[in-house]
Structures are given as C-alpha cells and as structure tokens.
Amino acid sequence: MNALFSDIRLQRYAAGLVMAAHAHDEASLSLVLSGRYEERIRGRAGEFEVGSLLVYPPHETHAQRFGAAGVRKIVLSPTPEAVSRLEEAVRFADAPAVRAPALAELGRRMAQELQTADDFSPLVLSGLSHELVGLAAREQARRGGALPPRLRRAVDFIREQPQQALALDDLAAAVGCDAGELARAFRAHLGATPGEVQRRLRVERAATLLAESRQPLADIAALCGFSDQPHMTRAFKAQLGTTPAAYRRAFKNA
C-alpha cells in the first residue's frame, strides 16, 4: 500500500461477538471508527471506543468482546519503517493503545479514501498514514510513553531476566547509571520503584503463560520468578483483581 503500511482495510465486527483468545502471525494496528469493545491482552483489560488506536505485536494473544452496536475498525499492517518510527515513542512489543479526537478524525478520512478508491486514493492514503504514525507517537510521548534511553534499557534488562530479583545497584550497574538517578527516573516516568516494575512485569508474563499454555500454576510461578504459587497469587490479585486460576478460566471461556 505505501512505505508505512503494506495493507489497509476496513473491518466490521457483529454486535455481541465474542472472540476467544487468539493471535496473529503478523503485527497490526487497529483504529476504531465506531462502536465499543472490551479486550484482554498482556494481562491487561481495557475498553476501547472511537479514536482508539491499538498495537498488536506478532503472536500476541488477545481476547475481545464487542458491544451491542458492533464495531467498525481500520486494520493496518505496518512495515518495518512504521514500527521503527513508533518505537521512538513506545515499545511496540508492549502492545500500547492510545486514544485521541485527532485519531478519530484521521480514521474517518482514511475510511473515506478506502471507499473512494480512485487513482488518487493511494497517494492520499500514503500521506494520511504518515500523519497517523506521527499523531500516535506524539500522543504516546505526551502521556509519558517516550522513556529515556537508560530507563528503557533498565526495563528491558528486567524483562529479559524474569526469574532474577534485581537489586537497584545491580540494575544501575547493568545500564551504566547512578542508582539514585535511576530510582528517580523510574518514579518520574513510570510512577513506580524498580521493584514494583519487576513485580508488574512478572504478573504480565504470568498472565501471558496462563492464557497461552496449560502449564501448572506452580510451574508458571517458578518461571516468572515468584517464590511459590501463593506468592504469585497474591501479586496477581493485587495487580489484576483476580486469581491466576480465575484469570485462566475467564480467558479460556472468553
């Protein structure tokens, strides 16, 4: 289609439709044009409506429940260039979602061009695609999505070692930063201490394993760095408001 999106298409979902946990081989973005729906992804649950732009990394499991009016979306397949530009403001792999009135208007214009489909539509859609990526990155950065490089490296380091309980000094040494400076960065940009972020990421990883595998809860607890299954249950309930067992049942039945 253009340098940023290899495919752009309109997609409709029936009223009340429930889509069980599933994943796609390719990355995609969805821009909601009408309706409302609920979604669970990466251990998070949210409700999305007109003007919401959602990012789906490849092979990322998610489940959806569409509202009484149905949903109409634009689905876009990003090229590596689009992913690279979005990565300047947010980790694509974190499956971020933003919502803004400007995105809703942009979606309306893109839908109009898809329906017009004349000789000039590809050129117009190319320009709108650049505007979409720019607006999404700006909105995410405005909300604090753009992390300083050292902080991003620290979060990546935590994510890559889920079974390790990382001390602040060890984490700071790993990214070449003063411990006090790093702690302040965590608080300023993420609103949490490094230890709280470690716990949050462990719960997100546990939620993914619960949704995608049949592994026993005790095994998942060990894989995610919890001392035992009760420890995981307490952290899981504190963050997501439910137990791991209830989450797995709900996800499988969605």
- 3-class DSSP state for residue 127? helix
Please tell me the CATH code under which domain 149-253 is placed.
1.10.10.60
Q: Which residues of 34-73 are buried (b: 16+ CB within 10 A; e: fewer)?
A: bbbbebbbbbeeeebebbbbbbbbeebbbbbebbeebbbb
- pLDDT, tens digit (0-9, with 9 covering 90-100), for 99-126: 888 999 999 999 999 999 999 999 999 9
Residue type, 145: G
First-to-last alpha carbon distance for the chain, in angstroms, is 34
pLDDT digits (tens, 9 = 90+) for 24-62: 888 999 999 999 999 999 888 889 999 999 999 888 899
Least confident of 34-38, 178-182, 190-194: 190-194
User: Between 143 and 115, whose confidence is greater?
Assistant: 115
- Give the lowest-confidence range in 83-92, 105-114, 207-216, 240-249: 83-92
Q: Where are the domains of the chain?
A: 5-142, 149-253
Kindly list the distances between the CA atom of residue 91 and the CA atoms of 16, 78, 192, 251, in Å, as whole numbers in the listed order.
31, 14, 18, 25
Residue 81: partners with Cβ closer than 8 Å, 6 or more residues away: 3, 4
Please state, for a pLDDT cut of 70, what percent of the chain lies above it: 96
Is there a contact between 198 and 155 (Cβ–Cβ < 8 Å)?
no
pTM of the model: 0.61
HSE (side-chain half, CA atoms, 13 Å) at 226: 24
CATH of range 5-142; options 2.60.120.280, 1.10.580.10, 3.40.50.1100, 3.90.1570.10: 2.60.120.280
